[in-house]
Amino acid sequence: MAFLLCLPAGLLQAQVQSRLSHQVTGLDQPVQLTIETDDGEDLSPDLTPLEQDFEILSRSTQQSISVINGEMTSKRSLNLTLLPLRSGSLTIPAIQVADQTTQPLTLQVEQQTQQEAEATKQALIELNLNKDSAYLEEQILLTLKLYQAKGVRGESLDPPEPSLDDTQISLIHEDRYSSRKDGVDYRVVERVYALFARQTGILTLDGVKFRGRSGGSRDPFTAFFSNGFPSHQQAGRIIRAESNPVSLEILPIPQEFTGERWLPAKNLQIVENGIDNEMVLAGSPITRRVMIIADGVMSNQLPNIEQSMPSGLKLYPESPHLNDKPNRSGISSSLQQSLTLIATDPGRYTLPPIEVPWWNTETRQQEIARLPAKEISFMPNPAGMANQAQPSVAAQTSQQNLSAENPATPDPESADDFPWMATLFGLAWLITVSAWWFSSRRKQPAKPVTIKEPSQQRSNQPELENVLQQLAEAYQTKDGQAARDAWLHWALLSWPDNPPNNLSRLARRCHPDLAQAVNALERAIYSPNSEISWSDFEILKLIEAKDSRQSADKAEQNLLIPLNP
């Protein structure tokens, strides 16, 4: 009892201890720091003092309870995996835990030996830019190559960080392959990034950091049953690598560019589809599809199609469809826009040219992508002419009403002729009534109406067979343009009074199975890079099925014809 009274008061309190797994280590070798308390309280110390000389790779907690001679004791420990950041004699500072602190510890970190220096070749990183300078919003390609020797397992790879804030960076390609460099076999991870800077100045990308592990055990159960954290041998050697920094100059928009919208690109073209030299009726809509295709630019940078139409022609543009396709050499983009044209009056109209100024980043010169002016004729629409004829009748009726409201002053000479003219009209009326009465008495019963099939189908039968043969050959040879012409010719023979003037309208008139084939052909023609297999449809069978359905429909209609039409 006297001995216990002589002990310091601090030893009677809960004890906090700290220990290292090794007193000496290498620069790339982690060590384990254990902080332990015997009061079972939660361990949440401030570890900021450790971050000056160490990187905390991992942390875990462990609690144990034991009963000795009927007394229960509880211990809780905090396990930290530390990686030295420099060589020399490093101090683990005192760490505050509740109202107590741990004892400072010393760790000796040795310089790399020759063998350890050779181990640094186990991981390498290279950064490369495809140009030394670029204009605002011009595509910049950054290539990152990570070389990992056999046995190296990657844990983290930092993404590139541009120094200019307003810079967009996107990963557009990743590849993995094997390569030999300086006599060492590596597994290579290659990543390509696309950068678009929207601020002038020097754009710098600092070194990208990699951390991996070489050797050790990969079995997580072994690590768990080894005091809650992996031992030094199981953890293996930490492998670190850092790339070289790269930079380039971002130039302002050149004064030689005269366009309204700055558009730097590697390549840019304009193509169209939907308007051919065919008959178009006034008042009927026709769709013109325009596509801008570009390399080295994002689709949201491409301008919308804007045009001023001549008098008598109305333009209804639809919302554009944007598409970006990344690949190893950069970003390919497209803007597709449908323009619906309606002519209010028949005649020949000239569509103005479409021009898009852009800056060629390869030649560093301004160029203009251009669709030339196009002429299109609109024929008079019979339905429209009938509607135009109605105002004339209304005008005549209005004129007659006006005459009735404002009668002309009778001529004195014509007033003398009125009696005998009235007598003459009266006699004519009596004769007309008598003739109608006799004809109604002698009228024979009407003969039944005979419904005949249209002779035009039979007269066009040789031409129809020729068109079907051309359609089958076009599908066999996979000639999309020839298939399109054959479809429109077939449509003209099928609907001679009002033929559809494009594939879209033809599809709307066809059975769903046949419409699917027509739509597939149109999409393939409009999108050259489309993977739609339009030529796999059995066209002749689909048309034969369509004719069979139409014949059945006609037969059903004939049965419903009234006996007394």
For 122-150, write each residue's pLDDT tens digit: 899 999 999 999 999 999 999 999 999 98
The answer to which of 86-100, 201-215, 336-350 has the lowest mean pLDDT is: 86-100
Q: Decide if pLDDT at 366 tops 50.
A: yes
The answer to which of 85-89, 446-450, 480-484 has the lowest mean pLDDT is: 446-450
| Structural contact between residues 312 and 283, judged by C-beta atoms closer than 8 angstroms | no
The answer to which of 271-280, 389-398, 521-530 has the lowest mean pLDDT is: 389-398
Question: Could you tell me which residue, 73 or 391, shows the higher pLDDT?
Answer: 73
Backbone φ, ψ for residue 203 (5° rounding):
-95, 120
Q: Which residues contact 361 (CB under 8 A, 6 or more apart)?
A: 134, 135, 138, 139, 264, 265, 266, 296
> What is the mean pLDDT of the segment spanning 44-57?
83
| Structural contact between residues 123 and 210, judged by C-beta atoms closer than 8 angstroms | yes
Determine the pLDDT at residue 34: 87
Q: How many CA atoms within 13 Å lie on the side-chain side of 351?
A: 26
Tell me how far apart the alpha carbons of residues 29 and 27 are, in angstroms, rounded to a whole number.
6
How many degrees, rounded to 5, is the angle at CA 37 between CA 31 and CA 39? 160
Nearest C-alpha neighbor of 332 from the set 344, 317, 342, 322: 322
Q: Decide if pLDDT at 402 tops 70.
A: no
3-state SS class at 428: helix
Tell me how far apart the alpha carbons of residues 234 and 222 are, in angstroms, rounded to a whole number.
9
Determine the pLDDT at residue 95: 84
pLDDT tens digits, one per residue of 459-470: 467 778 888 888
> What is the mean pLDDT of the segment spanning 49-69?
79
Residue 436 banded pLDDT, cuts 50, 70, 90: low
The architecture of the domain spanning 118-251 is: Sandwich (2.60)
Determine the pLDDT at residue 40: 58
pLDDT tens digits, one per residue of 537-564: 777 777 776 555 555 444 444 434 343 3
Tell me how far apart the alpha carbons of residues 281 and 381 are, in angstroms, rounded to a whole number.
5
Residue 97 banded pLDDT, cuts 50, 70, 90: confident
Q: Decide if pLDDT at 427 tops 90.
A: no
Q: Decide if pLDDT at 267 tops 50.
A: yes
Question: Could you tell me which residue, 176 or 231, shows the higher pLDDT?
Answer: 176
> What is the mean pLDDT of the segment spanning 450-454?
37
Nearest C-alpha neighbor of 57 from the set 79, 78, 82, 77: 82
Question: Could you tell me which residue, 435 or 240, shows the higher pLDDT?
Answer: 240
**Cβ neighbours around 288 below 10 Å, total:** 22
> What is the mean pLDDT of the segment spanning 144-160?
91
Query: What is the dihedral sign for C-alpha 4, 8, 11, 12?
Result: positive
Question: Could you tell me which residue, 30 or 157, shows the higher pLDDT?
Answer: 157
Determine the pLDDT at residue 421: 53
| Structural contact between residues 228 and 113, judged by C-beta atoms closer than 8 angstroms | no
Q: Do the domains 118-251 and 264-379 sit in the same CATH topology, yes or no?
A: yes
Helices (H) and strands (E) in the chain, counts: 13, 30
Tokens at residue 504, please? Answer: 């879209």
pTM of the model: 0.53
3-state SS class at 416: coil
Tell me how far apart the alpha carbons of residues 80 and 88 are, in angstroms, rounded to a whole number.
20
Q: Decide if pLDDT at 381 tops 50.
A: yes
Determine the pLDDT at residue 389: 37
Most confident of 9-13, 165-169, 233-237, 432-436: 165-169
Tell me how far apart the alpha carbons of residues 338 and 360 are, in angstroms, rounded to a whole number.
26
Backbone φ, ψ for residue 343 (5° rounding):
-95, 125
Nearest C-alpha neighbor of 241 from the set 339, 126, 318, 412: 126
Q: Decide if pLDDT at 11 tops 80.
A: no
Tell me how far apart the alpha carbons of residues 502 and 174 are, in angstroms, rounded to a whole number.
42
> What is the mean pLDDT of the segment spanning 57-66?
78
The answer to which of 55-59, 199-203, 445-449 has the lowest mean pLDDT is: 445-449
How much is the mean pLDDT over the chain?
76
Determine the pLDDT at residue 146: 94
Q: Decide if pLDDT at 308 tops 60.
A: yes
331 secondary structure, DSSP code: E
52 secondary structure, DSSP code: G
Backbone φ, ψ for residue 335 (5° rounding):
-130, 120
Question: Could you tell me which residue, 67 or 57, shows the higher pLDDT?
Answer: 57
Query: What order of strands is seen across the sheet that includes strand 354-360?
Result: 264-265, 354-360, 365-371
Most confident of 32-46, 167-181, 226-240: 167-181
pLDDT > 70 fraction of the chain, expressed in percent and rounded? 71
Q: Report which secondary-structure segment, H or E, holds 224.
A: helix 220-224
Q: Decide if pLDDT at 60 tops 90.
A: no
Nearest C-alpha neighbor of 235 from the set 219, 258, 217, 247: 217
Q: Which amino acid is at 134?
A: A
Determine the pLDDT at residue 276: 67
- Domain residue extents for the chain: 12-111, 118-251, 264-379, 456-559
Determine the pLDDT at residue 160: 93
3-state SS class at 301: helix
- List the beta bridge partners of residue 129: 142
User: Is 12-111 assigned to CATH 3.30.70?
Assistant: no
Determine the pLDDT at residue 435: 56
| Structural contact between residues 43 and 17, judged by C-beta atoms closer than 8 angstroms | no
Q: Decide if pLDDT at 452 tops 70.
A: no
| Structural contact between residues 24 and 232, judged by C-beta atoms closer than 8 angstroms | no
The architecture of the domain spanning 264-379 is: Sandwich (2.60)
